Amino acid sequence: MKRNIALSISVLLMPTILSAQIIVNDSWADGNRLNTGPLQADWWSSTSTGNNSVEAGAGYLGLVTGTSGRGLHGTFTPQTLAIGDKLTATFSFSTPATVGSESGGGGFRFAIADFNNAGLAADLQSGSTFVQPLFQNLPSYMVDFDVNRPLVADDTSIREHMLPEPAGAGRFMGTTAGWTQLGTSTDVDYTFAPNTPYVAVISLTRTGADSMDIFGSLSQGSSLLTSHSLSDASGIVNNFGLVGVWVNSNLMGSSANIGEANNGIDFTNVKIEYTPVPEPSAIALIALGAAGLLLRRRLAV
Ligand SMILES: [Ca+2]
Ligand SMILES: [Ca+2]
Ligand SMILES: [Ca+2]
């Protein structure tokens, strides 16, 4: 009887205590960029109050960029990480029929940021001639990927928003001028191909009172194309309720018009998961469960 109880504890507790809590799991089944059901986020244009960059239909969310550099951001229930906690954002998307190449690098950008002002849940203007006050000094981490640089192998880089930003910034990911590059991966020969599904991941793990591990990766099917991880040793960002995506001009698609074909990438799913560090009492219970399993095996011999 005892051993059965111990076995039950071990089997029941391990998956529930250690598994991630899903905060967002949005596949746009409602065809609406706004949150109309459980586990959805709200998706906004980061470049125009008239929304020039976001389109949604049944099963997808489109970031309309084509010949223009533009972005979108999604807002969700804010999460604060305790030491040991982890937040992971996974973006599944497909490239359009036309994929370009860039000379500068780092033109495909993903961020996790602080949802520190309710006004961020809106279509917002930003650009080279317009400073967006809500984006200025927004605490954020960015992972950016090179897109098909001729004669140069591509890489992943990890950046942190400067706090404070230089004057005249406030474009969120529209420029990397307001960002400090924390490090880059080794160069590898990955390729963004047209009409192909990819998965980009950013994960953040708080490792101390003022330290954060940051990981970014790009995959195609079961192939990991590029990844990088590093530690932010001070001045960490630790409240998160916003994700952002930016694509520079002429990288994804040939049209910059909403509703047209070949106008940018299409997301098929965005998932945001919070993995809490196991509580000491939970660890103790798991240990108890494991001891129970051992005991059961001994008794069975
Ligand atoms: Ca929706
Ligand atoms: Ca589209
Ligand atoms: Ca820092």
Whether pLDDT at 15 is above 50: no
* Ligand 1 centroid to residue 34 C-alpha, Å: 4
So what's the pLDDT on residue 18?
Answer: 62
Question: What confidence tens digit (pLDDT) does each residue in 233-265 have?
Answer: 999 999 999 999 999 999 999 999 999 999 999
Query: Average pLDDT of 85-93?
Result: 98
Choose the weakest-confidence range: 7-21, 86-100, 189-203.
7-21
How many angstroms separate the alpha carbon of residue 41 from the centre of ligand 1? 7
Share of the chain above pLDDT 90, in %: 80
Which ligand has the minimum distance to the alpha carbon of residue 159? 3
Which residues is 73 bridged to in the sheet? 44, 244
Taking the domains of the chain in order of start, what are their residue ranges? 20-277
CA angle, residues 252, 57, 46, in degrees to nearest 5: 55
Counting ligands in written order, the one closest to the CA of 37 is 1
Distance CA(301)–CA(52), nearest Å, equals 69
Q: Which ligand is nearest to the CA of 38?
A: 1
Q: Which ligand is nearest to the CA of 43?
A: 1
For residue 48, what pLDDT band results from cuts at 50, 70 and 90? very high
Query: What is the rounded average pLDDT of the residues 28-50?
Result: 98
C-alpha to C-alpha distance for 276 and 287, rounded to whole angstroms: 18
Task: Name the least confident of 2-11, 131-140, 271-280, 292-301.
Answer: 2-11
Ligand with minimal distance to 34 CA = 1
Q: Ligand 3 centre and the CA of 236: distance in Å?
A: 5
Six-digit token string for 194? 């047209």
For residue 187, what pLDDT is reported?
92
pLDDT range class, residue 150, cuts 50, 70, 90: confident
Query: Residue 252 C-alpha to ligand 3 middle, in angstroms?
Result: 31
- CA–centroid distance, residue 256 to ligand 2 (Å): 9
Distance 276 CA to ligand 2 centre (A): 36
List CB contacts of 20: < 8 A, sequence separation 6 or more. Answer: 86, 88, 273, 274, 275
The alpha carbon of 138 and the centre of ligand 3 are apart by a number of angstroms equal to 13
Q: Assign domain 20-277 to a CATH class.
A: mainly beta
User: With bands split at pLDDT 50, 70 and 90, how would you rate the model's confidence at 151?
Assistant: confident
pLDDT tier for residue 294 given thresholds of 50, 70 and 90: low
CA 263 to ligand 2 centroid distance, Å: 5
Dmax over CA atoms of the chain, in Å, equals 76
